[in-house]
Structure 1
Amino acid sequence: MTTARDIMTADVQCVRSTDPVIAAAELMTDLNIGALPICGADDSLEGMLTDRDIVVRVVAERKDPLVLPVGELAEGTPVTVDADDDVRKVVSVMSQHQIRRLPVLEAGKLVGIIAQADIAVELGHAETGNTVEAVSIDY
């Protein structure tokens, strides 16, 4: 059985909920990524921040990214999977919640992240296509 741990990117960095949005944007640029987990002071996962969040919820609303804390952009409870969950569950969760990046937890702590590209590498063409379609459908 292939698990989330087998396909996740383990070297995941967080942005702190108290960090200004500009720090998150700079980290995304440095790492060449489009999303970062938002972690609290106790390293608990508080949410996910995407480059789209920064554009739509900060720039377009004319908020100041130099002072706006990242934590103000975290909404609701983050959708996650456990490191030992089967890859089929990962696909199901991504499809059900229409998300492209999925944090992976172990004992409640962030240990990795899975992106659509990780699914594409692991699964065949047909299932990858089905996953991308399910995540992308606009209801």
Structure 2
Amino acid sequence: MTTAREIMHAGAAWITRGVMLDRAAELMSEMNVGALPIADENERLCGILTDRDIVVECVAKGKDPRRTTAGELAHGTPRWIDADADVSDVMQEMESHQIRRLPVIENKRLVGMISEADLAHHLSEAQIAEWVDKIYSRAAT
């Protein structure tokens, strides 16, 4: 059984709710990532900020990214997976919620992230083809 821990990118960086969006964008650029988990004061996951969120929810709406915090864009309960979950559960979670990045949690703390690239590096071509078909065909409808 392959677990989330085995395919995740370990040591994922996170930001706090008070980080301004311009700084979050700089961090994404420096780390070459498209998303950063948002943690609360207890280092628990409370949201995920994507580069698209910054553009669509801040810049396109005329807000100033130097004065808008990550927490202002953290809505709802973020999806996540336990570090010991089977890869089939990882794929199901991502498929059913149409997400392309999934935080990995252990003992209520962020320990890594799983992205499409992580899946591509660790799964068979058949598994990836099936996952891509489910993610992208449903996203188009």
Q: Report SS of the residue matched to 2:10.
A: coil
Shift of 1:133: 2.2
Could you tell me which residue of structure 2 aligns to residue 128 of structure 1? 128
Alignment of 1:70-89 (within 5 A): 70-89=70-89
Please give the alpha-carbon distance, in whole angstroms, between the structure 1 residues aligned to 2:11 and 2:2.
19
Shift of 1:75: 1.1
Shift of 1:122: 1.3
Q: Which moved further from structure 2: 120-129 or 99-108?
A: 120-129
**TM-score, normalised with respect to structure 2:** 0.95
- What amino acid maps onto 1:118 in structure 2? D
Shift of 1:67: 1.0
Q: Which moved further from structure 2: 117-126 or 53-62?
A: 117-126
Large movers: runs of 4+ above 3 Å: none
Shift of 1:127: 1.3
Identity of aligned residues (%): 48
Please give the alpha-carbon distance, in whole angstroms, between the structure 2 residues aligned to 1:133 and 1:28.
28
Shift of 1:121: 1.3
Shift of 1:39: 0.8
Could you tell me which residue of structure 1 aligns to residue 46 of structure 2? 46
Please give the alpha-carbon distance, in whole angstroms, between the structure 1 residues aligned to 2:3 and 2:130.
19
1:26-66, CA deviations, whole angstroms, 9 ceiling, x for partnerless residues? 10011111111011111010111111001100110010100
- What amino acid maps onto 2:30 in structure 1? D
Please give the alpha-carbon distance, in whole angstroms, between the structure 1 residues aligned to 2:26 and 2:41.
20
Shift of 1:108: 1.0
Structure 2 stretches lacking a partner, 5+ long: none
**TM-score, normalised with respect to structure 1:** 0.96
Could you tell me which residue of structure 1 aligns to residue 30 of structure 2? 30
Give RMSD over aligned pairs.
Answer: 0.9
Structure 1 stretches lacking a partner, 5+ long: none
- What amino acid maps onto 2:61 in structure 1? E
Could you tell me which residue of structure 2 aligns to residue 55 of structure 1? 55
1:99-121, CA deviations, whole angstroms, 9 ceiling, x for partnerless residues? 00000000111111000111111
Shift of 1:130: 1.6
Could you tell me which residue of structure 2 aligns to residue 118 of structure 1? 118
Shift of 1:18: 0.7
